[in-house]
A and B are shown apart, each in its own frame.
Chain A
Amino acid sequence: MFDLPTIWAGLLALAIFIYVILDGFDLGIGIVFPFLASDRDRDVAMNSVAPVWDGNETWLVLGGGGLFAAFPLAYAVVMPALYAPFIIMILALVFRGVAFEYRWRDKAHEKIWDRSFFFGSVLATFCQGIVLGAFVQGIEVDGRAYGGGWWDWLTPFTLTCGIALVSGYALLGSTWLVMKTEGALRDTAYRHARRAALAMLAFVGVVSLWTPFLSPQIADHWFSYPRLLFVVPVPILTALLALLLGWGLLKRNDQIPFPATIGLFALCFAGLGISIAPYIVPRAITIQAAAAPDSSLLFMLVGALVLLPLILAYTAYSYWVFRGKVDPEAGYH
């Protein structure tokens, strides 16, 4: 049951989940960025993530690198299949990444870098949503390579997933700001968080109802007995967490909305896992078939088991150094 490929699939899923949460909130800040009230608010919002965004994005590199290393066949099929969304995503991340430094260096063109930060964040998120949707929807495989067309990823379902993720990251970003800021900026963040929460719940609802209709196999994963008993907690917990989130946003308890949103993401992620297991390229290549030889997986596992806890420890330390509400005067610029 717990062979090396399964363990690696689990580790990879963990890395991608950590990525989605961590870069999710700083991409989310990019998404709500132009809707903040003043330049000063934007400075504070950016400074709230400036010390950590780089580490957050490293989890994306681990996700891509980990897929390449542990499941080279899946990597070789998925990347060409999603050529355009991946290229657009990385270019968008380039635009957004440089903004962190550039906007402080060039006050005359600050607006340009603000826009670069906003559009980069939105586009990168939207593409990630498309990638996710295209993945669930299935990828055509021919031998050991992608066998479909160049626009297979572009469907109403994937576009809906893109919008769902944009609203989801916007929720993560604004609840992060709720937690990290004070005064008028926090009020604005609460307002955006309430809107984003409604949008995210609506779109996630649509995607969830849509997914089982994509293939009988997915439907079977969700609705067959006795599997039903194991999967039914997912929607129930989702509903409970949505209520907690709503309560936190209405009662203005700063510490509730962000963790509640993380919980919602975790449940969506679990739902995704239920839909696609045991495949790594849904309904075409299983985890076992795509896995690198055991000699590769074992070599990496030794390192990952030592290094991942270490990484989590110093990442936590770095967050702890910058804990609490952001000091509006902070920054090294």
Chain B
Amino acid sequence: MFEAFDAVVLARIQFAFTVSFHIIFPAFSIGLASYLMVLEGMWLKTDNPVYLNLFKYWRKIFAVAFGMGVVSGIVMSYQFGTNWSVFSDRAGPVVGPLMAYEVLTAFFLEAGFLGVMLFGMGRVSKSLHFGATVMVAFGTLLSATWILSVNSWMQTPAGFSINEVGQFVPENWLEIIFNPSFPYRLLHMVLAAYLTTAFVVGAVGALHLLRDRTNAEARKMFSMAMWMAAIVAPLQVVAGDFHGINTLEHQPVKVMAMEGHYESHPDGAPLYLFGIPDDENQELDYAIGIPKLSSLILRHDLNAPLAGLDTVPDELQPPVSIVFWSFRVMVGIGLLMVLVGLTSLVLRWRGRLYDAPLFHRAALMMGPAGFVAVLAGWITTEVGRQPYTVYGHLLTADSIAPVEAPAVAASLIAFIIVYFVLFGAGTYYILKMMNKRPSDLPPLPGTLTRSAGTTQLAAQRPEARQAE
């Protein structure tokens, strides 16, 4: 059975593993950085210490998540060369500059101001500190913009020619950066990051509300998170729909796999809710579908014809079952998120948002939902792109470095062990921090703080600092 694990398969597993781990941290830190910006901004505007407490609470969690994002990102930036050197040589002239811009505009901005954001309170003025927080948040968004431009170009390449040694040569940078799928993918991912963070913040808020309904910080973060869910989750459904239509236009085979359409449907395609994809016999077993709904969603017309995988040669088809199921997981979680958002609106309207233990329990359970949805979404789009690295132009099998399978296998095992140990520890520390009451945080030296209804100087409470 080990013959099946050649260097290409191992390199793909390695990339999938490292990138899946990596995406979790940015998905969280993009949203969290913006949340920190809002919290600090609200604190400066209202002078309400609840915002400052929340800022410091989430800042610590951000620091750990961001650190894991940075180190797992460095791995990615070198993996292109170690395992995918032919891809690097060929696509480097197009992809490389975009990634260099990501480093120059985003990574330096984040890293340069992170120090001030984490350690600079008291050393710089309040507004300069806020400026640093804004820069960190802006940096995370810029980073997302560039890397999604890269990924989208690999999915829907544009603006290039191919030279005599097989390299992609840039002809029009605007077409490369703003390639056909980029705007949809960027919007979909940024909204996903915001939703992911909202559900984490909401879950932590719910946890502390379940313990103490009067905790001001818990109420504030729960309320903010639920506003986010109520507004952004429905928006995400709309954005996802646009993204799907764009994919149908530029990568129809991916959509066929997502929908489980092995056969063409000349007069209206059904939406399959369930089914077991069978690549070998090219059919969807035990299919349960709603007639014509797929055509309605994708073409906004009940009777629109949809081509199926029977129009695509076997060797150019992605593995259908992975794409089919990951897509359903993503959509399912998305709909649950909409439900949570709408429920929160109803409860808020009835004045019971902080007084609904059952709903708080549900919100707590939904805490990790965003991560699962993000991973499922990425699996859908990346596996659906197979067998290409640059869609329609460069096959995955032709992108691999001249490495031997044992070398890739050894490094894969090393990555798996190191990631599970280190990022497992990091996740544990984050959960430990989340378990702490947000208002138990020691105040900044010299700042005013509330304590059991009285106001006192933080510097007079050394025991609070030691308790940390």
Contact = CB atoms under 8 A, between A and B. Distances in A.
Interface of A: 50-52, 54-55, 57-58, 60-62, 64-66, 68-70, 72-73, 75-80, 83-84, 86-87, 90-91, 93-95, 97-98, 100-102, 105-106, 144-146, 150, 292-293, 295-296, 299-300, 303-304, 307-308, 311, 314-315, 317-318, 321-322, 330-333
Nearest to B56: A332
20 contacts: A55-B108, A58-B108, A61-B77, A62-B103, A64-B81, A66-B100, A68-B95, A83-B82, A86-B81, A93-B74, A105-B64, A105-B433, A145-B89, A146-B402, A150-B404, A293-B163, A296-B94, A296-B96, A299-B173, A304-B104
Given A51-B118, A58-B108, A321-B123, A295 B170 contact: yes
Given A293-B169, A296-B93, A317-B112, 4 more contacts: A75-B80, A80-B402, A93-B74, A311-B108
A296 B418 contact: no
B347 interface: no
A57 B268 CA distance: 54
Interface of B: 56, 59-60, 63-64, 67-68, 70-75, 77-78, 80-82, 85-86, 88-97, 99-105, 107-116, 118-121, 123-124, 163, 165, 167, 169-171, 173, 401-404, 407, 411, 414-415, 418, 422, 425-426, 429, 432-433, 468
Contact of A94 (B72, B92, B118, B124): B72
Question: From DSSP, what is the main secondary structure of chain B's interface residues?
Answer: helix
B78 A54 contact: no
B81 A94 contact: no
Contact of B78 (A90, A101, A145): A90
Given A58-B103, A91-B415, A307-B105, A76 B74 contact: no
B74 A145 contact: no
A102 B71 CA distance: 13
A75 B81 contact: yes
Contact of B71 (A55, A78, A94, A295): A94
A69 B89 contact: no
A102 B426 contact: yes
A64 B92 contact: no
Contacts of B425: 98, 102, 106
Contacts of A304: 100, 104
Given A69-B96, A307-B104, A307-B105, A105 B112 contact: no
A244 B407 CA distance: 46
B96 A65 contact: yes
A159 B26 CA distance: 37
A78 B432 contact: no
B107 A322 contact: no
B283 to A, nearest CB: 42
Contacts of B72: 94
A314 B77 contact: no
Contact of B85 (A52, A79, A94, A333): A79
A104 to B, nearest CB: 9
Contacts of A57: 70, 74, 111
Nearest to A323: B123
Given A55-B115, A65-B100, A292-B96, A97 B169 contact: no
Contacts of A321: 115-116, 120, 123-124
Contact of A77 (B73, B85, B105, B116): B85
Nearest to B445: A329
Contact of A79 (B88, B103, B105): B88
A311 B106 CA distance: 10
A52 B112 CA distance: 7
A145 B85 CA distance: 8
B82 A80 contact: yes
B13 to A, nearest CB: 15
Contacts of B107: 58, 61-62
Contacts of B123: 321-322
A98 B68 contact: yes
Contacts of A51: 114-116, 118-120
Contacts of A68: 77, 80-81, 88, 92, 95-96, 99-100
